[in-house]
Structure 1
Amino acid sequence: MADKGVTIRELAEAAGVSIGTVSRALKGQPGLSEATRAQVLSVAQQMGYDTAKLRTGKPRRLLFIYSRSIGSLAANPFYSYVLHGAETACRDPGVPLSIMSVLGGEDIAGQIRRHEADALLVAGYIDPEAMEAVRQCELPLVLVDHFYPGVRCVNDDNLRGGWLATQHLLDGQAQRIAAIFGPLAHYSTSLRAKGFRRALYEAGRLFDPDYEVILDPSLEYRDAGRDAMRRLLELPERPDAVFAYNDSTAMTAIEYCREQGLRVPEDVRFVGYDDIEAAAHCKPPLTTVKMDKEALGYVAARALIEGDVAPNDASLPVELVVRESSVLPQVPAVAAAPERKARKTAA
C-alpha cells in the first residue's frame, strides 16, 4: 500500500538530490536533465509518494489551524473574526473549510492528512516544532498573525499600532507609561512592543524596563492579566497610563484597577489593541488600535484559493479608536467675573 505520508524531503534524501530538484521534477518544470527527472519520478513511484499533493487549481478543502495554547476560538474573539473572514472568502468559490487545533508534540502531519485538506491557513503563533511539522506536509500554506521565513504571511501593521497607542498617551501628557505584553516570541507582540519603545524614544523618554511587564505563562490567561497589573501598581511610582497588547488584557487590568479603588481614566489611562466587540462596551469604553480582523482571514484564504502563496509579508493598515478609557475628563472652566469698569471721577 502506498504511504501517503512520504514527503519531498524524504524523496530528496532517497534520490540523492535537493528538495528543489525533486519539486521541479514532480511538477514537470524545466531546468533538469531527463535522467535526473526520470530518477526522481522512479523513486517517487517506488516510495508511493502522494501525487495529489501536486494538484493545481482551486483547492478542494482548506484547513484552518490554530494552537490550543491560545485557548478555544470561543474564548479568543480575535481569531473568531479571522476565521469568519476565511469562511467568507471560501463561500463564493465553494471551497469547504475545516478547523483543527494543534499542540507541539502531537502527530500534526497525521492530523492534517486525516482532514484531507490541500491548502493550509495557520492563524496565530505556533511553536517552531509544530511549524516544521506543518511545512513538511508540503501543502500550500499561508500564515495569519505570524511570521516564518519563506512562507506567505498576512499581518496587520503591528509596529505602527504599538506606536499609535503609545503616542496617544504621550499626547495626553501621561508621565509614566507602562505596557503589558504577552510572550515576545510571538511576532505580532514583539512588533507592538517595538512600536511602544520607539514612541517613547522619539519623545525623548528614557525606557524603564520596570514599566514593561510580560504575562506570566504559568497562570491562566485572565489571572495573568490581573497579576501583571498588580506588579505595575506595586512599583514605587505607579503608572498613570498603560498600553496593553490586546483588548482582553486591557479590560482585565481595568477591572483590577477598579477593585483597588483606582479610577479609569482619572488615575490610570488605558489603550488596548484589536478592537474586539467587547471593547466598546466595557466600563469605561476602551480606547484601542483597530484592524480589520476579518480582512486578515479573507486575504489569507483568497491567496490560497487563487494559488498566490509565494513568500511575502502583507501588512494591513491599523487605526486608533479613541474612547473614554484614555481621555481625562474635562474640568468645567469657572467663568471669570466680569471686570468692573472704573468709575469716572469728576475733575
Structure 2
Amino acid sequence: MADKRGVTIRELAQAAGVSIGTVSRALKGQPGLSEQTRSQVLEVAEKLGYDTAKLRTGKPRRLLFLYSRHLGSLATNPFYSYVLHGAETVCREAGVPLSLLSVQSGDDIAGQVRRHEAEALLGAGYFDPDTMEGIRRCELPLVLVDHFHPGVRCVNDDNQQGAWLATRHLLDGGAQRVAAIFGPPTHYSVSLRAKGFRRALFEAGRLFDPDYEVTLDPVMEYRAAGRDAMRRLLALPQPPDAVFAYNDSTAMFAIEYCIEQGLRVPEDIRFIGYDDIEEAAHFKPPLSTVKMDKEALGLVAARALIDGDVEPGEASLPVELVVRESSRIDAAPEAPARKARRQPAAAER
C-alpha cells in the first residue's frame, strides 16, 4: 500500500481514469454517479491508500481570495476591488472568514495557502499556466472569476455579447471606420471581447481590417500603452472615426491623447469602453461603456464555494450598454442603460 501522505486526489483521479470532481463525489458518497464508477474509485483509493481525512464536508471554515501579483494592489484596481467586495459580502453573511493573497509564478502557493488555513479558493483574473498549476495543486474547492480553465467552476460576464453591443452601437450611429484597442489576448475576457467586436463587424457586412485592431504594448506602463495604441491608430492613412476599448481605463487614456492632438470627442471620433468603473461617468466627456455587475461576480463565486457548487462549468452574467456623451454625436440628454439581449450568433466562432 502506498504512503497515505504521498497520494493526492489528482493522482487518484488519474489512476481511476476519472475527473477530480468524480473522485470527490465518490469518496463523499454524493449522488450523480453510477455504482460502477463509485466502486471503481473506492477500489483505487483503497489500493493506493488515499487518506480520506483530507476530504472536507460542509461549509468551508475559511475562504481565500487569490489574484495575480501582476495586477498590482487591489486598492488601485477598480475592477477586482468590486469583485472582492461582493465575495466579502457573501462570506460575512455566511460567517466564513475571508483572507487575501497575491500570487505569481514561482511562489510556493500551496505553502502560502496552508498558512492562511484556507479550505476554499476564489481566484480572480488571469493566472499564467504555471501559477494556475500551483493553485490546482492545492487540491481545494476552487472557483475562478474573470478567467477560464478546463475542469474548474468559472464565473464571467457575457464578454462576447458585451463587445458585440458596444461595436453595434458605434456602427448603428454611423461610424465607418471602427477600431478596437485590446489588452493581452491570452486573457479569457479579452479574447471573447475581440470575438464580439469582429462578430459585430461581420454581421454589419464590414470587412475586418487588422490595422484597425491594436493590442497594448505589454512592456510599457499601462497609461503610456493606452496612449501609444491610440497614436498608432491615428497614424493610419485613414484614422478611425470610432474606437471600442476593451476596458474603461484604456478608453480614457486614448481619449486624453486624442484631445491633446486637437480632436473633439465625440464630434471627430467616438469612444466606448467596457466595465463601467466609477470614473467613467465622471470623465470629460462622460464615457459610454458596457456595464456589468462586478460585485455579483464575486458574490456568485463565493456563494458557489460556500454551497459546495464547484462542479466544472461556466456561469455567464448579463451586461448592459450604457450610452454617454463620448459616443453620441448629438447633445441629447443621456440615454438610459439598455439591457443586453442575445442576438443570433452567426459568426460567434
Report the number of matched residues.
321
Aligned to 1:345: none
Q: CA deviation at 1:103?
A: 1.0
Q: Which residue, out of 29, 38, 42, partners 2:46?
A: 38
What is aligned with 1:224?
225
Aligned to 1:337: none
After superposition, the Cα gap between the structure-2 partners of 1:11 and 1:207, relative to the gap in structure 1 and judged at 3 Å, is closer
Distance in 2, matches of 1:4 and 1:38, equals 14
Identify the residue that residue 344 of structure 1 maps to in structure 2.
none
Q: Which residue does the alignment assign to 1:69? A: 70
Q: TM-score, normalised to structure 1's length?
A: 0.86
Equivalent residue letter for 1:107: D
Q: Is the 8 A contact 1:25 1:32 kept in 2?
A: no
Distance 1:148 1:33 in 2: 24
Compare 102-111 and 28-37 and name the one that shifted more.
28-37
Q: Could you tell me which residue of structure 2 aligns to residue 295 of structure 1?
A: 296
Aligned to 1:197: 198
1:269 aligns with 2:251: no
Instruction: Give the equivalent residue in structure 1 for 2:122.
Output: 121
Letter in 1 for 2:149: Y
State the Cα distance separating 1:9 from its structure 2 match. Answer: 3.5
1:108 paired with 2:94, answer no
The structure that has the greater radius of gyration is 1
Residue 10 of structure 1: CA displacement? 5.0
For the Cα contact (< 8 Å) 1:59–1:305, is it kept in 2?
yes
Aligned to 2:344: none
Q: Cα offset for 1:111?
A: 1.5
Secondary structure, counterpart of 1:290 in structure 2: strand
Q: Confirm or deny: 8 A CA contact 2:218 2:225 kept in the other structure.
A: yes
Q: Secondary structure at the match of 1:315?
A: strand
Gaps of 5+ in 2: 31-37, 333-349
What one-letter code is carried by the residue in structure 2 that aligns with 1:223? Answer: A
Give the distance between the partners of 1:101 and 1:147, measured in 2 at CA: 18
Work out the CA distance in 2 between the residues paired with 1:283 and 1:265.
Answer: 11
Check whether the contact 1:183–1:189 (CA below 8 A) recurs between aligned residues: yes
Alignment correspondent of 1:336:
none
SS in 2 for 1:262: coil
Is 2:314 the counterpart of 1:306?
Answer: no
> Cα deviation per residue 1:91-119 (whole Å; 9 max; x = unaligned)?
11110001111111222222112111000
Cα distance in 2, alignment partners of residues 295 and 285 from structure 1: 24
- Name 1:338's counterpart in structure 2: none
Structure 1 residue 74 displacement after superposition = 1.6
Q: Kindly tell me: are residues 107 and 172 of structure 1, through their superposed partners in 2, closer, same or farther at Cα, counting changes over 3 Å?
A: same
Compare 242-251 and 29-38 and name the one that shifted more: 29-38
Contact 2:143 2:301 in 1 (8 A): yes
Residue of structure 2 equivalent to 1:146: 147
Q: Structure 2 counterpart of 1:305, which letter?
A: I
Give the conservation status (yes or no) of the 8 Å contact 2:12–2:44.
no
CA displacement at 1:130 relative to structure 2: 1.0
1:233 to 1:26, Cα distance in 2 relative to 1, 3 A: same
Q: Conserved in 1, the CA contact under 8 Å of 2:248 and 2:277?
A: yes
8 Å contact 2:75–2:81 — kept in the other structure? yes
Aligned-pair CA distance for 1:71:
2.1
Corresponding residue for residue 174 of structure 1: 175
Contact 1:8 1:19 in 2 (8 A): no
- Per-residue deviation at 1:281? 0.2
SS in structure 2 at match of 1:296: helix
Which SS does the other structure have where 1:99 is aligned?
Answer: strand
**Residues 1:304 and 1:126: Cα distance change in structure 2 (over 3 Å):** same
| Matching of residue 86 in structure 1 with residue 94 in structure 2 | no
1:204-283 equivalences in 2 (<5 Å): 204-283=205-284
**One-letter identity of the residue aligned with 1:160:** Q
Change (3 A) 1:3 1:101: farther
1:158–1:188: 8 Å Cα contact kept in structure 2? yes
Instruction: Show the counterpart of 2:337.
Output: none
Gaps spanning 5+ residues in structure 1: where?
332-347
Q: CA deviation at 1:70?
A: 2.0
C-alpha distance 35-11 of structure 1, shift in aligned 2 (>3 A): closer
2:304 and 2:310 in contact (8 A); partners too: yes
Q: Specify the code of the residue in structure 1 equivalent to 2:280.
A: A
Matched residues in 1 for 2:320 and 2:43: separation?
A: 56
